[in-house]
Amino acid sequence: MTPGAWDGFKTGQQVSRRPERAPPCSGNASIQMLRATVMDVDKNRVAATFREIVVLTLAPGLVGLLILVSWALAHWQIGPGLVSGALALVAVLLGGLQRFQAGFKDMQNRRITVNVFVTVALIATVAVGEFRAAAVIVFIMSVAGALESYTLDKSRKSIRNLLDLTPRTASVRRGDEEITVPVEEIQIGDTVVVRPGEQIPVDGTVVAGASSVNQAPITGESMPVEKFPGSEVFSGTSNEAGRLEIRTLKTGQDTTLARIVHLVEVAQETKAPIQNVADRFTAWFLPLVVVLAILAYFTSGDIKVAVSVLLVACPCAFAIATPTAVTAGISNMARRAVLVKGGIFFELAGKLDTLLVDKTGTFTLGRPKVVDLVGLDGKPEEEILRLAAIAEKYSEHPLARSVVSLARERGVETPDPDTFKTETGMGVVAWWEGAEILVGKSTFLRDHDIALDDEVERALESQALKGRTAVLVAHETKVIGILAIADGIRPGTRRAIATLKQSLGIARVVMLTGDNAQVAEAVAKEIGVDAFQAGLLPEEKQQIVREFQQEGHLVGMVGDGINDAPSLVLADVGIAMGAAGTDAAIEAADVTLMNDDLGRVVEFVEMSRKVFRRIKLNIFFSIAYNAVGLVLATLGMLTPVLAVIFQEAGCVTVVLSSTLLLWARPRRHGELANG
Residues of the chain with CATH 2.70.150.10: 167-200+203-250
Query: Residue 560: what pLDDT?
Result: 76
pLDDT for 671 beyond 50: no
Looking at 3.40.50.300, 3.30.70.3190, 3.40.1110.10, 3.90.180.10, the CATH number of the domain 366-489 comes to 3.40.1110.10
Q: Would you state the torsion angle of the CA atoms of residues 45, 46, 51, 52, taken in this order, to the nearest 10 degrees? A: 70
Q: Is 42 a catalytic residue?
A: no
CATH 3.40.50.1000 placement within the chain: 332-364+491-606
Q: Which amino acid is at 438?
A: L
In whole angstroms, give the CA distance from residue 517 to residue 514: 9
Residue 133 · residue 311 · CB < 8 Å: yes
Taking the model in full, what pTM does it have?
A: 0.60
Residue 144 confidence class, pLDDT cut points 50, 70, 90: low
pLDDT band per the 50, 70, 90 thresholds, residue 150: low
**DSSP at 241:** S
Q: Quote the CA–CA distance of 326 and 477 in Å, as a whole number.
A: 67
pLDDT at 353 over 60: yes
Cβ neighbour number for residue 82 with a 10 Å cutoff: 8
631-654: average pLDDT = 81
CA–CA separation, 34 and 40 (whole Å): 10
* 523, 511 contact by CB (below 8 A): yes
Mean pLDDT across 93-112: 82
8-state DSSP, 62: H
Cα distance from N-terminal residue to C-terminal residue, the chain? 33
Q: Could you give the percent of the chain with pLDDT greater than 70?
A: 78
H-assigned helices in 252-396 = 256-270, 277-300, 303-313, 316-335, 344-349, 381-392
Q: What is the pLDDT of residues 34-54, one digit of tens each?
A: 444 444 444 444 554 555 555
User: Which among 269-278, 346-355, 557-566 has the top mean pLDDT?
Assistant: 346-355
The pLDDT of residue 8: 38
Residue 277 has pLDDT above 70, yes or no: no
pLDDT in tens, 369-416: 888 888 887 788 888 888 999 888 888 777 888 888 888 888 888 888
> Of the residues 190, 358, 572, 596, which is catalytic?
358
| Mean of the per-residue pLDDT values of the chain | 77
Check residue 46 and give its pLDDT. Answer: 52
The boundaries of every CATH 3.40.1110.10 domain in the chain are 366-489
The CATH architecture one would assign to domain 332-364+491-606 is 3-Layer(aba) Sandwich (3.40)
In CATH, the architecture of 167-200+203-250 is Distorted Sandwich (2.70)
Whole-angstrom distance, CA of residue 81 vs CA of residue 78: 8
pLDDT of residue 310: 79
Contact 564, 570 (CB under 8 A): no
